[in-house]
Amino acid sequence: MTNLFNTCIWPCLLIACSLMTGALLVDRGLTPLTFALMLVTCLILAKLVSVILRSRFLVTNALKALANNDRLLGLSFDQETHVYYENIREKFHKTRSDNYAQNQLLKEIISNIDSGIIVANEQLQVIHNNTASNRLLGKDLIQINLSDVRELKDLITSIPSASKSLLSLNKNERREILSVSVHIIYLQGYKHYLISLQSITKELNFKENQAYKRLVRVLTHEISNSILPLQSMSDTCLRIIGEMNLGCNQSTADLTSALQAISRRSTHLNEFVKQYSKISRLPAPQFRRVNICQLVQDVITLYNNEFKTKNIALEYNNRINTYWLMTDPAQLEQVLINLIVNAIEAVEQSSNKQLISISITIKSSTNLILDIIDSGQGVEDSSREQIFVPFFTTKPNGSGIGLALAKQIMINLGGDLVLLDNVKLRSNQGAGFRIIF
């Protein structure tokens, strides 16, 4: 309708008005020649108006078609104009497609990287974040205010822009160390925070374990080099005393007793060093597909008779029949055996009801949790930080090897072993350990 008005009706109205005006002027004495010139002028003017309006119509519709990536259907442009238009349309289409592809690629990269990305406004309201940030912080951040995450809020507002800091969080009783980087950016003139999070827990654990291994190698080497000659010399002296037949006087008896004590202690130290060296010489895991639920049940079966003999009650809570993982079954069994033996020893020394609780739960689509909790005396607060340190033990005759070895095995298997917080345990229970896959 607009096209018809612009190209036909408007020029016709202009001509009609011109004719009526000319007739009126002729009636008042205007010469026919002057009227003819005026009429020609009006016709030319009408044609110019028609051309201008049509050009405007064509350009407007061409731009609309270009915006919608449409062809010039129904628009009467010449061939050369059509060619130029199609070239421009193709370039716009390619640019738009490239931008869309790059945008999708960027979204996929941000969505799938292990580092957490958070964009928050000046009021710390999250306006965008990726899946990794939810996983690292243990909560869904979309539409949340970072002021509710106290540790993160304090860190964001305290560190300078483009600098890094460390953030320690507890997730499922597991300490998570995050490297946090904060950048101040401006979007449409408004201040925003670009926050990146990266877990460095595995790297720190690896460095710590490597340091332990180096320490163990040095200690075992130096101690062994000192013990073996000492044991050899004490055994030689005992043999010589026996061959010399010095009689049964007090001095000979004291000397023999001292040499025997040296030999015996040297033997025990040598055995201790051999046990401790296992931490630095763990074999590489032989991963295969294992039903964790069945493996736990098999280990429990090994101790059923001991539970009955020692009158220890066992609570086994597992609503999962099957859960398959890639792990080393032999090494994982060793960890379970160590924890169950520790639990048995703990409840035997306690005056509380002798109870061991074993439970398997799924915390998320990627986390399986196995808890072993006893009703023993528990772990004192002063000992909690050192419970997995080699040589440290709370047992009178302990070596400090078992838990350190178990944690090392779990780290090698891609999981972790942590000590449960006392507040997570029921009042009649002592110590709890959590295996995290």
| 3-state DSSP assignment of residue 73 | coil
Give residue-wise pLDDT tens across range 175-194: 778 888 888 888 888 888 88
* pLDDT for residue 8 is more than 50: yes
pLDDT of residue 381: 74
The DSSP-derived string for 38-57 is HHHHHHHHHHHHHHHHHHHH
pLDDT of residue 196: 86
218: Cβ contacts below 8 Å, ≥ 6 apart: none
Cα angle value 81/83/84 (rounded, 5°): 65
Give residue-wise pLDDT tens across range 337-384: 989 988 888 888 777 778 888 888 887 656 788 999 888 877 777 777
* pLDDT for residue 4 is more than 50: no
pLDDT of residue 289: 92
Please state, in angstroms and rounded to a whole number, the distance separating the CA atoms of residues 291 and 434: 18
pLDDT of residue 182: 85
**Stretch 81-107: mean pLDDT:** 78
- Residue 304: how many CB atoms within 10 A of its CB? 10
Contact call for residues 329 and 288 (beta carbons, < 8 A): yes
- Residue whose token pair is 């040297």: 266
pLDDT of residue 15: 61
Cα distance from N-terminal residue to C-terminal residue, the chain? 71
435: Cβ contacts below 8 Å, ≥ 6 apart: 335, 336, 339, 369, 370, 371, 372, 410, 415, 416, 417
pLDDT of residue 257: 76
Share of the chain above pLDDT 90, in %: 1
* pLDDT for residue 5 is more than 60: no
Greatest alpha-carbon span in the chain: 169
Q: Give Rg (Cα) of the chain.
A: 43
User: Which of 83-87, 104-108, 218-222 reaches the highest mean pLDDT?
Assistant: 104-108
